[in-house]
Amino acid sequence: KAGVTQTPRYLIKTRGQQVTLSCSPISGHRSVSWYQQTPGQGLQFLFEYFSETQRNKGNFPGRFSGRQFSNSRSEMNVSTLELGDSALYLCASSLELGTDTQYFGPGTRLTVL
């Protein structure tokens, strides 16, 4: 089976712009979670989608949003980018919601200038 894929792998944006990141889960997996990883804060949970509905949400501002499509693919959007949004954004998929093992993608490296 193919693993979790994320596109693009690298992205450079300037402050104030918006960005959309994409994640394709492992075939058959219905849950997709998003994380932000920075050297100072480590991994922080953004949100989880299951059956096209957001089921869990971390403590991030409303500038961070996401959605999931009927084929389980997910997108994450960040509006009005700030310098502090520079990070590795990781997507993880799992078969079911909540307690199942997560499989991470390689991430999208976002740099905000």
Partner 1 sequence: TQLLEQSPQFLSIQEGENLTVYCNSSSVFSSLQWYRQEPGEGPVLLVTVVTGGEVKKLKRLTFQFGDARKDSSLHITAAQTGDTGLYLCAGAYAGNNRKLIWGLGTSLAVNP
Nearer to partner 1, 9 or 63 (CB): 9
Smallest separation (angstroms) from partner 1 to the CB of 63: 20
Residues 52 and 69: beta-carbon distance below 8 Å: yes
Query: Between 15 and 57, whose beta carbon lies closer to partner 1?
Result: 57
Cis peptide before 8 (omega within 30 of 0): yes
- Phi, psi values for residue 83, rounded to 5°: -55, -35
Task: Report how far residue 87's alpha carbon sits from residue 109's, in angstroms, rounded to the nearest whole number.
Answer: 6
Nearest residue (CB) to partner 1, 80 versus 96? 96
Using CB under 8 A, list all residues that contact partner 1: 4, 33, 39-45, 48, 56, 58, 90-92, 98-107
> In the complex, what is the shortest distance from the CB of residue 47 to partner 1, in angstroms, rounded to a whole number?
9
Rounded-to-10 torsion of CA 90, 112, 54, 30: -30
Nearest approach in angstroms of CB 16 to partner 1 is 28
Q: How far is the CB of 23 from partner 1 (least distance, A)?
A: 11
The answer to whether residues 85 and 112 touch, using CB atoms and an 8 Å cutoff, is: yes
Pick between residue 5 and residue 20 the one whose CB is nearest to partner 1. 5
